[in-house]
Amino acid sequence: MVKAAVLYNFGETLKVDTVRLRAPGDDEVVVKLAASGVCHSDLSVQQGRLPFLLPVVLGHEGAGIVEEVGKEVRHLKPGDHVVLSWVENCGRCHYCIAGRTHLCEAMVQSMMAGRGFAFEKNGIQIARMAGVASFAERTVVRATAAIKIPHEVPLDRACLVGCGVMTGVGAAVNTAKVKAGETVAVYGCGGVGLNIIQGAALCGASRIIAVDVAPTKLDLARTFGATDVVSAKDGNAPEQIRALTDGLGVDYAFEAIGLPTVISEAYLSVKRGGKLVVVGMPGVGQMVEIPGYMIAGEEKSVMGSLYGSANTRRDMPWLVELYQRGRLKLDELISKRIELEAVNEALIDMENGTVARTVVVF
Ligand SMILES: [Zn+2]
Ligand SMILES: [Zn+2]
């Protein structure tokens, strides 16, 4: 039996419940969680904006220690420290073969086939969010979704690599492939936005303009490498961005909130030939408006970035290594450490935008 935070109905608070964890399949591992970040997508599922099977154990930004491995698992053993990935990198599907492992079909398939159920209570099967379910003392995950990291790296920081850091740094490095000397604007300086900023800094961007409504987040943005900050409260962020870039606009504007109006605004701050990179996820069914003539007339493209276009087994180890060498900030992302029982308060903090990251420590 394990303690886990379960969502029984959309819009309700999570119930910290005692549930039964099933045994691992041949290609799965049992992981004892050490820590889990609380991410915006947890809130989106709780509020019903991202549809998932119910009931579900939330949490998808976890790190922990392998306790048990299935018969076919060769690359992990009990005692290994791992970061959990919410895309599987199965190595067999159309996307994995094409080298686009972040679009791997396995996660969806495993949900459909019922393999997404990892827990049970009173005869009711309980799903695991995104194949992870890190708001639990222990979980079962596919072995390809557990990425081994060195023992020296503290797990309460490593967990952030499992979603926010990969998503943000990867958006700059993998999706946009920002080049040295290029200019960048980042709309939204929460957990993901701060990582886009430090990703753009790693790429050598000459100008990194952070945009947010909260002054505290703009201060934090500077410590992550923003060269300039713009308050979105003044209502004319694209104009302010053009003023900072010789009237041109930026090579890349990143949107890390998922609000259709902000996505439209970010598009307007891109220079001719530049790119809007949408990282935030609007609710299913929401539409985004952009001026049609600019797409061809100014050759401004729109790119999506899912999970930082990650190849998790390639990228997560180098992110951890950068942290170990002092070149990637993780400690500064953590605003609060809590116990699992306080997870609902962490979701409220997330909604109010008062924290970069809250980490549940087990
Ligand atoms: Zn996330
Ligand atoms: Zn795949």
pLDDT in tens, 159-206: 999 999 999 999 999 999 999 999 999 999 999 999 999 999 999 999
What residues does 209 pair with on adjacent strands?
185, 228
Q: How far is the CA of 314 from the centre of ligand 2 (A)?
A: 15
Rounded CA-CA distance 244/230 in Å is 10
Instruction: Determine whether 27 is exposed, middle or buried from the number of CB atoms within 10 Å of its CB (0-12, 13-18, 19+).
Output: middle
Residue type, 250: V
Q: How far is the CA of 56 from the centre of ligand 1 (A)?
A: 16
Asked if 55 and 6 touch (Cβ cutoff 8 Å), the reply is: yes
Instruction: Note the ligand closest to the C-alpha atom of 106.
Output: 2
Q: How far is the CA of 52 from the centre of ligand 2 (A)?
A: 20
Q: Give the other-Cβ count within 10 Å of 261's Cβ.
A: 11
Instruction: Note the ligand closest to the C-alpha atom of 39.
Output: 1
Q: How far is the CA of 99 from the centre of ligand 2 (A)?
A: 9
Asked if 43 and 281 touch (Cβ cutoff 8 Å), the reply is: no
The residue among 176, 82, 164 whose CA lies nearest residue 332 is 164
Q: How far is the CA of 7 from the centre of ligand 1 (A)?
A: 16
Q: How far is the CA of 73 from the centre of ligand 1 (A)?
A: 26
Instruction: Kindly provide the residue ranges of all beta strands, DSSP E only, lying in the chain, ordered along the sequence.
Output: 2-7, 15-21, 28-38, 56-57, 62-69, 81-84, 117-121, 124-128, 138-142, 146-149, 183-187, 207-212, 228-231, 250-255, 270-278, 301-304, 334-338, 357-361
Q: How far is the CA of 333 from the centre of ligand 1 (A)?
A: 14
**Two tokens at 14?**
């999570």
Instruction: Note the ligand closest to the C-alpha atom of 163.
Output: 1
**Two tokens at 262?**
């902000």
Distances (CA, A) of 103 to 18, 91, 361: 33, 11, 30
Q: Give the other-Cβ count within 10 Å of 128's Cβ.
A: 30
Asked if 235 and 267 touch (Cβ cutoff 8 Å), the reply is: no
Rounded CA-CA distance 335/264 in Å is 30
Rounded CA-CA distance 352/91 in Å is 39
Residue type, 183: T
Q: How far is the CA of 59 from the centre of ligand 2 (A)?
A: 21
Instruction: Note the ligand closest to the C-alpha atom of 279.
Output: 1
Rounded CA-CA distance 161/142 in Å is 18
Instruction: Note the ligand closest to the C-alpha atom of 280.
Output: 1
Residue type, 176: A
Domains of the chain, CATH where assigned: 2-162+330-361 (3.90.180.10), 165-306 (3.40.50.720)
Q: How far is the CA of 298 from the centre of ligand 1 (A)?
A: 33
Instruction: Note the ligand closest to the C-alpha atom of 145.
Output: 2
Give 319's DSSP letter: H
Q: How far is the CA of 311 from the centre of ligand 2 (A)?
A: 11
* Residue labelled with tokens 């900030």: 329
Asked if 143 and 76 touch (Cβ cutoff 8 Å), the reply is: yes
In whole angstroms, what separates CA 204 from the centre of its chain?
A: 22
The residue among 256, 243, 245 whose CA lies nearest residue 40 is 256
DSSP 116-129: TEEEEETTEEEEEG
Asked if 45 and 353 touch (Cβ cutoff 8 Å), the reply is: no
Rounded CA-CA distance 319/119 in Å is 31
Q: How far is the CA of 316 from the centre of ligand 2 (A)?
A: 17
Q: How far is the CA of 18 from the centre of ligand 1 (A)?
A: 24
Q: With both helix axes pointing from N to C terminus, report the angle between 215-223 and 191-203 in degrees, rounded to the nearest 10.
A: 30
Rounded CA-CA distance 57/140 in Å is 12
Give the model's pLDDT for residue 107: 66
Instruction: Note the ligand closest to the C-alpha atom of 308.
Output: 1
Q: How far is the CA of 273 from the centre of ligand 1 (A)?
A: 30
Q: How far is the CA of 25 from the centre of ligand 1 (A)?
A: 25
pLDDT per residue, tens digit, the chain (362 aa), is: 999 999 999 999 999 999 999 999 999 999 999 999 999 899 999 998 887 889 999 999 999 999 999 999 999 999 999 999 998 888 889 999 999 999 988 766 555 455 678 999 999 999 999 889 999 999 999 999 999 999 999 999 999 999 999 999 999 999 999 999 999 999 999 999 999 999 999 999 999 999 999 999 999 999 999 999 999 988 899 999 999 999 999 999 999 999 999 999 999 999 999 999 999 999 888 999 999 999 999 999 999 999 999 999 999 999 999 999 999 999 999 999 999 999 999 999 988 887 789 999 99
List, edge to edge, every strand of the sheet that includes 228-231: 228-231, 207-212, 183-187, 250-255, 270-278, 301-304
What residues does 226 pair with on adjacent strands?
none
